[in-house]
Amino acid sequence: MCCTRSVYSWDIVIHRVGSKLFFDRRPTSDLDYPTVSETAIEPPQEEGNTINSPRNLAIEAMYINRNFSQQVLKMGEEKFSFDHPNTPFAEDDASEASNIASVGYRQVELRTLKSHLCVCVHLLAREHQISVWVCRSKRQP
C-alpha cells in the first residue's frame, strides 16, 4: 500500500532462533486496534482523553469486534473442533477458555520455484479462524 503520509505507522520485532524467524509486534503497539478515520481528508487529530479521540474510538471498536464473535453464537450447538486448536498460545486458566468459542490456527506452506530449485517455507500464522462454513454436510474452517 502506498500513501503520501504515515498516520498509522507500525513496526515489527524479528527474532532469529536457530534457523527460524519469529515476527511479532511490540507489546506497547496499537497494531491490534482498528484504524479510525484513515480515509479522512485531513489526518486525525489527537483530542486528548475525550470519548471521541481516535485512540478511545479504536479501543471501543476493538472490544466490539472481539465480543461480536461471541454474541452471534448459536446457544446449545456443539463447538467445532479445529485441527490446530489454540493450545500453542493458550493461557494457564483453562476454565475461562472453555466458555468461549473455538479458535484455531493454521499452518501454511509457501513454495517458491527458482529455476530447478524448490524452496519451501513453513509459516505458522497466529491468525484467528473464528467461523465455520457448512458445505454439503461437511464443516470447514
pLDDT at 58: 84
In a domain, 89, yes or no: yes
Q: Is the pLDDT of residue 14 over 50?
A: yes
Residues in the chain: 141
Integer Cα distance of 118 and 24 in angstroms: 27
In a domain, 52, yes or no: yes
pLDDT in tens, 95-117: 555 555 556 666 666 666 665 56
Are 47 and 104 in a shared domain? Answer: no
In a domain, 3, yes or no: no
Region 112-139 average pLDDT:
64
* Count of domains observed in the chain: 2
Are 29 and 62 in a shared domain? Answer: yes
Q: If DSSP codes are grouped into helix, strand and coil, which group holds residue 72?
A: coil
Integer Cα distance of 108 and 128 in angstroms: 14
Q: If DSSP codes are grouped into helix, strand and coil, which group holds residue 83?
A: coil
pLDDT at 119: 65
Integer Cα distance of 40 and 79 in angstroms: 41
In a domain, 128, yes or no: yes
Are 60 and 81 in a shared domain? Answer: no
State the chain's mean pLDDT as an integer: 70
**Nearest 5°: CA angle at 43, between 41 and 44?**
115
Are 134 and 87 in a shared domain? Answer: yes
- Amino acid (one-letter) located at 19: S
Whole-structure pTM over 0.75, yes or no? no
Are 40 and 91 in a shared domain? Answer: no
Are 44 and 81 in a shared domain? Answer: no
Are 94 and 42 in a shared domain? Answer: no
Q: Are 38 and 8 in contact (CB under 8 A)?
A: yes
Q: If DSSP codes are grouped into helix, strand and coil, which group holds residue 65?
A: helix
Are 130 and 88 in a shared domain? Answer: yes
Backbone angles phi, psi at 76, to 5 degrees: 85, -5
Q: What residues make up the domain containing 45?
A: 9-72
Are 137 and 112 in a shared domain? Answer: yes
